[in-house]
Structure 1
Amino acid sequence: MDVAVTKYPAIVDSDIDIRLLELEAKKIAQAIGSQIAPLTKSISDFGARVENRIIKAALLRAMKPAFENAYDPSKVARLLSAYRTATAQGRYGVFNPVMQSPPDTQLLFDAASPVADDYAYADWPEGEADEPILFYVPGGGFILPPSPKQVALAFRLAEHCGCEAVIGKHRLAPEYPFPIPANDLADQYAAMLESGVSASQIILSGDSAGATLIMAMLLELRKRGLPMPCGAILFSPWGDLAMRGWSYISKSMSGSSPFRMEAAAFSAKLYLGDTLPTDPRASPVYADLRDFPPLAIHCSRHDMHFDDAVQLAEKADDANVSIRMNYWDSPRHHLERFGSKDAKKSFDLVAEFINARVNRTG
C-alpha cells in the first residue's frame, strides 16, 4: 500500500502563506519590491547569507564561555560586562554596519554597569513646537546596550522623518529582568508627558527585542491609563519569546537569519527569569491589543521573526487597531541598518506613516 509522505515544512509554510494572503487581501500586509537592480540584489543577498552565518558562529562562540562558567556568577558577570562595554563603544562589530556615529552630545550611558538608574529627563530635544518626537528603543536581546551605530540609525531615521530623536533607556537583564525594562520605558514616557510633551506628538519605534519592549511598554501605558502615543513602528519585531513559529526553526537552520534559536533562547531566559514566555506582557503575540495606537511593522520574509510579524498583524486587526505590515524579500534582519535603497524605501514608508498621524503647523 502506498503511503503518502507528509512534507511538514511545506504544510507549515503554506499556512503562513495563506494567512499572509488574507492580510494582503485586507490591505494590511504588502510586499515591497526591492529598489536594487536584480544582479546587484543577488550579490547582496549572497553576501548577507554569508554574513548571517558568520554572525551566528560569533554569537555562539560568545555564549560558550557563559555556559562553561554558568555556576560561577562572578565570571559570568565579568563576561557580560565586557560584552556590554565593547558594544557600547562600538567594538563588538557583528551588528555594526558602516554608518556615521551620533553626535557626542547624544552618546548613551556607560554600559560597564547595567544602565543609569536615574534619568536625565530635563534634557528633552529643543526642536520646533510642532516637531514630533521619535522615541526609539534599539534592540540588544534585552541584555546588551545599544552601540553608537544603533543610536546613529535612530537619529538618521528621525532626521529623515522630520522628527527629534529620543533614545529609550532601560535597565538590562539579567540584573533587571522582566518586567523592569518595559516599566523603565513607561516611566520615561510618563516623564515626557509631565514635562509638557503631547502624546499626540510622540511616535514609538524599536527593532527586534527593542520592538518587544515597545509593545510591553504600550501594555503598561494602557494599564496606567496614560495617553497613548500617536503610533508605533516595529522593525523585525520579536513577538514570541516561546518561539513557536516555524520561521524560528527554518530560518535558524539556514543563512537567511543572523540568529539561531539557541542564542535567542539564551537572551529570552536571562530576560524572563522564572516568567513563562507566553506571558502576554513579555510576548505580545499573546496579548490583547485593544486601544493600541496605529502600528506599522517592517520585516523580511526570510527573518527568523517573520511568523511573529504575521501574528502581530493578525492580533492588531482582531483588536480593530490600525495596522500596516510591509515586508521585503531579503535575508537581512532589520535591513534598515544598512545604507541601501531598500533601507531608504523603508525610511520613506515610515515617514509616510508618521506624517499621516502627527500635526505639523509649520
Structure 2
Amino acid sequence: MDASIPGYPANAGSDIDLRLVQLEAKKIAHAIQSQMVPLAKTFSDFGARIENRIIQAFLIRSLRPAIDKGADPVERARLLSAYRTAAARGTFAIFNPVMQPPPDAQLLFDPASPLAADYADADWTEESADEPILFYVPGGGFILPPSPKQVGLAFRLAEHCGCEAVIGKHRLAPEYPFPQPARDLADQYEAILKSGKSPERIILSGDSAGATLILAMMLELRERRLPMPGGAILFSPWGDLAMRGWSYISKSMSGSSPFRMETAAFSAKLYLGDALPTDPRASPVYADLREFPPLAIHCSRHDMHFDDAVQLTEKANDANVPVTMNYWDSPRHHLERFGSKDANKSFDLVAEFINARFKRAA
C-alpha cells in the first residue's frame, strides 16, 4: 500500500489485527458475541459460506455478459435495464432476508423508468416535527435499485428504533455516475430540512455501497455548509473503491464473502466513470471526516469490506468524530439482512445508538 496518497493513513500498511486491538483498547471497536449456541452457529456459518460461493458464481455468471459487452453501450444498457427490473421486482434477490417488504414496496420503483429513480415520497411531512427520521440508502453496487426486501429491512429497522423510515433517492450509474448520486441524496436531505425537520432529528444509514453514498453525501453537506444530521449508521461500508485492503484479496478468494473483486470492480468502474478511485468524495477512507456527526459502524470480521470498516473507524477517531465499531465473527455480508438473533442484536445496538442521540430511554 502507498501511504503517500493524500488522506491515506500512515499506518495503512500495518497489520489489521494490531490496528483492531488498538481500537479495542480505546473501547472504540467491540467484538460482539454471537447470540446463537455454538452448534447452531457452526451450521449457520457453514451454510453461509456455501451460500456465498453460490452468490459469487451467480454474480459472475450474471454480470459476465455485461462485462463482455462493456464496449457496446447499447447492449450494456439493455442488460443493466433487465437487471434493474429484476432487482426492483425482487426476482434478482440473490440475498434472502426473511422479513417481508412493506405493503406498498412495489410502488417505490418504476421498472420502466430509464433513470431507475422513481422512489415514492415518504409521508414524513405528516408526522410530528419531533418524530425522528431514519434516512436509509440501500446498497446496490451504485447500479441497481433496492429490492422490496431491502426496503422492508429499512422499514423494519426504523420501526425497531422508533423512527420514521425515508428511503434515500438517487439516480444510478453509469447513466448518472459519481458524484451525482451523492448530490441527489444531499438534495433530498436539504428538502427535508426546508420542510421544517430539525437536522439533529435525522439519522442517516446505509449498507455496502449505500453506506459509501451516505459518507459521500455528508461530504457534500459539509461542502454546501448545511447542518449535519444527528448521526449515521454504516452497515458493511464499502470505503475504498480502489480496494487496497487485504480483506478484498483474502475474502474474495474464499467463501467468506458473497462478492469477488472483479464484480466489485465492475460496479466501481461504472460508478466512477473517469474519476480516480482514490478521490475522497468517492472513497471515504481517503477523506477528511472532520465535522461529521457520531458514527456507528457494523461489519463482519470476514467481510470483504472489513479493512475499510477498520480504516473508517480510525479516520473518524483521528478527526475527533465519536465513533463505535461493532463487529461479528460471521461470514455474512450485512448480516442484518437475515433476521437472525445476531441481526436482532445489531438492531438493538442501533437502537441504543439512536436513543443516545435523542436521549430516549431504551
TM superposition score normalised by structure 1: 0.93
CA contact (8 A) 2:290 2:319 kept: yes
Structure 1 residue 358 displacement after superposition: 1.8
Structure 1 residue 117 displacement after superposition: 6.2
1:44-83 → structure 2 map (5 Å cutoff): 44-83=44-83
Question: For 1:76-119, what per-residue CA distance to the aligned partner results, in whole angstroms no more than 9, with x for missing partners?
Answer: 11110000000000001202333211121673121443446688
Structure 1 residue 339 displacement after superposition: 1.0
Bigger mean CA deviation after superposition, 55-64 or 101-110 = 101-110
CA contact (8 A) 1:201 1:359 kept: no
Gaps of 5+ in 1: 1-11
In the alignment, which residue of structure 2 is the partner of 1:343?
A: 343
In the alignment, which residue of structure 2 is the partner of 1:23?
A: 23
Q: Distance in 2 between matches of 1:316 and 1:54?
A: 35
Code of the residue aligned with 2:233 in structure 1: it is: I
In the alignment, which residue of structure 1 is the partner of 2:156?
A: 156
Q: Distance in 2 between matches of 1:64 and 1:28?
A: 40
Q: Distance in 1 between matches of 2:232 and 2:97?
A: 25
In the alignment, which residue of structure 1 is the partner of 2:236?
A: 236
In the alignment, which residue of structure 2 is the partner of 1:260?
A: 260
* Seq. identity, %: 80
CA contact (8 A) 1:84 1:112 kept: no
In the alignment, which residue of structure 1 is the partner of 2:93?
A: 93
Gaps of 5+ in 2: 1-11
Bigger mean CA deviation after superposition, 109-118 or 39-48 = 109-118
CA contact (8 A) 1:135 1:166 kept: yes
CA contact (8 A) 2:301 2:327 kept: yes
CA contact (8 A) 1:114 1:172 kept: no
In the alignment, which residue of structure 2 is the partner of 1:9?
A: none
Code of the residue aligned with 1:154 in structure 2: it is: A
Q: Distance in 2 between matches of 1:98 and 1:160?
A: 16
In the alignment, which residue of structure 1 is the partner of 2:139?
A: 139
In the alignment, which residue of structure 2 is the partner of 1:4?
A: none
CA contact (8 A) 2:179 2:282 kept: yes
In the alignment, which residue of structure 2 is the partner of 1:245?
A: 245
Structure 1 residue 162 displacement after superposition: 0.3
1:118-129 → structure 2 map (5 Å cutoff): 123-124=123-124, 126-129=126-129
CA contact (8 A) 2:117 2:172 kept: no
Q: Distance in 1 between matches of 2:54 and 2:316?
A: 35
Bigger mean CA deviation after superposition, 265-274 or 14-23 = 14-23
Alignment size in residue pairs:
350
Q: Distance in 2 between matches of 1:280 and 1:71?
A: 28
In structure 2, the CA distance between the partners of 1:105 and 1:128, relative to structure 1 (3 Å rule), is farther
CA contact (8 A) 1:96 1:150 kept: no
In structure 2, the CA distance between the partners of 1:114 and 1:310, relative to structure 1 (3 Å rule), is farther
Structure 1 residue 238 displacement after superposition: 0.1
| SS state at 2:15 partner | helix
CA contact (8 A) 2:107 2:119 kept: no
In the alignment, which residue of structure 2 is the partner of 1:273?
A: 273
Q: Distance in 2 between matches of 1:216 and 1:170?
A: 12
Q: Distance in 2 between matches of 1:347 and 1:207?
A: 13
TM superposition score normalised by structure 2: 0.93
Code of the residue aligned with 2:323 in structure 1: it is: I
In the alignment, which residue of structure 2 is the partner of 1:166?
A: 166
Structure 1 residue 120 displacement after superposition: 6.2
In structure 2, the CA distance between the partners of 1:114 and 1:291, relative to structure 1 (3 Å rule), is farther
Q: Distance in 2 between matches of 1:237 and 1:114?
A: 27
In the alignment, which residue of structure 1 is the partner of 2:179?
A: 179
CA contact (8 A) 2:105 2:148 kept: no
Matched, 1:199 2:217: no
CA contact (8 A) 2:185 2:217 kept: yes
| SS state at 1:233 partner | strand
In the alignment, which residue of structure 1 is the partner of 2:3?
A: none
How big is the alpha-carbon RMSD for the aligned residues of Structure 1 and Structure 2?
1.8
Structure 1 residue 63 displacement after superposition: 1.1
Structure 1 residue 13 displacement after superposition: 10
Code of the residue aligned with 1:269 in structure 2: it is: K
Q: Distance in 2 between matches of 1:117 and 1:81?
A: 13
CA contact (8 A) 2:96 2:338 kept: no
Structure 1 residue 359 displacement after superposition: 5.4
Bigger mean CA deviation after superposition, 72-81 or 270-279 = 72-81
In structure 2, the CA distance between the partners of 1:122 and 1:306, relative to structure 1 (3 Å rule), is closer
Q: Distance in 2 between matches of 1:155 and 1:235?
A: 15
In the alignment, which residue of structure 2 is the partner of 1:215?
A: 215
In the alignment, which residue of structure 2 is the partner of 1:40?
A: 40
